Amino acid sequence: MTRLRVQKSDITVVKADATVIFLFEGDKAPKTLDGKLGGRISAILKKKIFVPKKLSVRRVDTLGKLPADSILLVGLGSKDDFSGELLRRASAKAALAARESGAESLALSISGLASKKNPADELAQCAAEGILLSLYKFDEYKKKPEENGGDLRSVVFACGGDREDVGAGVDTAEKLCKGVALARNLGNQPANTATPTYIANAALKECRKVGVKCRILEKKDLERLGMGSFLAVAKGSAEPPKFIVMEYFNGAKREKPIVLVGKGLTFDTGGISIKPSANMEDMKFDMSGGGAVIGAMTAAASLKLRKNIVGLVPCTENMPGGRATKPGDVARSLTGLTVEIINTDAEGRLILADALGYAKRYKPRAVVDMATLTGACMVALGVHASGLMGNDQKLIDAVREAGEKTGERCWQLPLWEDYDDQIKSQVADVKNVGDRYGGAITAAAFLKKFTDYPWAHLDIAGTAYGAKPRTPYMTSGSAGIGVRLLIRFVRDF
């Protein structure tokens, strides 16, 4: 794990293998630094050997003239375009470049970038997040881990009078990134390891560490409660279903909680409506929403948020066994609504329906669910934004704003009553799929039937994982999407 330190000193005197210097387009070389290097940085900028465009990086050897072995010039583009997210990405690029060069220590300063619009604590948090998230590795199953440079063991944030603010931002980032790493680790595990039982035990263990109350409802509990919609999905699997309930009450005694719900499908074959074999291995990531909620709950406790929060994660596999639900079967949900199951591959909404029904017992201020729910959302938005819908515009706006601040962007799709016609059933109260078009919206329309409180839904099918990193800090495999967004939303709402 990379160690982050905050040090009150000038960046030019910090001893490190590499020192980061951020530059905007049109900036001159830092006077003291450039002087010690005999004007080398000025010459590089003048000759346009390095142009500080967004996320450009150039390594300059100090030839022993500074305590640092090398300087990493990192471009930020135009000052008008500067944001915390840009710094998050630029810091990630710097960390990756340092690691690839074999550096084990890195120094940087964000003090000169801070302003009223971008205060030092938030910029420090963004920079630290970019560094820690970019350096994540999952090599548990490799006999010989891949070489991609050395391990960046330490990072120093050099600062002046803003040391307290910088320190607070770095501390927040470290606690958040532990939650993201937990979500990524759970997602990257193969499904023969990460069964519902494994996920439940991991939640118990991690919650115990930070003081979150956690209990697991077993199959017999789900039957007693009448969670027929959830159980309909679990019927075909030899693995028992688990319903993870996490409670963190650290807010005002009478304050209604915010409930976070995450889809925990540890593997999705599609059931009887079986998926094509191509890329089915990626269905181990179908529990990404659940992993994010577990990560967010542990991060909330680590940060000691003065909030009341509940996390609910229904966990199961969706398998085509001899007892599996068949297309056309009808299940009775916890809320009493009956569901005609037209397609067993639309299973995420079935387990979420009972989790949303269970959330009612908390009389919540708001409920946000997060799920890798529909390929249709990927068709609509690609891989750079999560779909966002709900029944309360104030809540939707708060979730969207949290996404903008964390770089985990969301885009609102309509959820008009017109879409309800597509999920009307002739034999039950509702059916679990509509027709071919608007699939992400009709999935949300289905979920809406099980809510009677302010509710927002995030479809993260396109953003939760990927074969290639989409940003410098978002690694391939599980992206851990949702942890930082949910924490920002809870803090600000």
**Locate tokens 């924490």: which residue?**
487
490: helix, strand or coil: helix
Angle between helices 348-359 and 439-448 (to 10 degrees): 30
Strand order in the sheet with 154-159: 3-8, 154-159, 105-108, 18-23, 70-75, 57-61
Q: Which two tokens stand for residue 165?
A: 């603010």
Count, residues in the chain: 493
Phi, psi (5° rounding) for residue 7?
-130, 130
For residues 207 and 118, give the distance between their C-alpha atoms in angstroms, rounded to a whole number.
33
- In terms of Cα–Cα distance, which of 252, 238, 246, 193 is closest to 217? 246
Q: Which two tokens stand for residue 215?
A: 């209990």
Residue 407 — left, alpha, or beta (φ > 0 → left; ψ -120 to 50 → alpha)?
Answer: left
For residues 375 and 462, give the distance between their C-alpha atoms in angstroms, rounded to a whole number.
8
* CA–CA distances in Å: residue 459 to residues 55, 71, 81, 197, 351: 29, 41, 28, 25, 15
From 349, 449, 484, 488, active-site residue: 349
The yes-or-no answer on residue 306 being catalytic is no
From 175, 219, 275, 365, active-site residue: 275
**Locate tokens 């465009």: which residue?**
53
* CA–CA distances in Å: residue 405 to residues 92, 304, 398, 402: 17, 20, 11, 5
The yes-or-no answer on residue 275 being catalytic is yes
Is 134 in contact with 187 (CB distance < 8 Å)?
no
Strands (E), 336-450: 338-341, 366-371, 386-390, 410-412, 430-431
444: helix, strand or coil: helix
DSSP 8-state secondary structure symbol assigned to residue 276: P
Is 311 in contact with 260 (CB distance < 8 Å)?
yes
- In terms of Cα–Cα distance, which of 153, 167, 110 is closest to 3? 153
Provide the annotated active-site residues. 275, 349
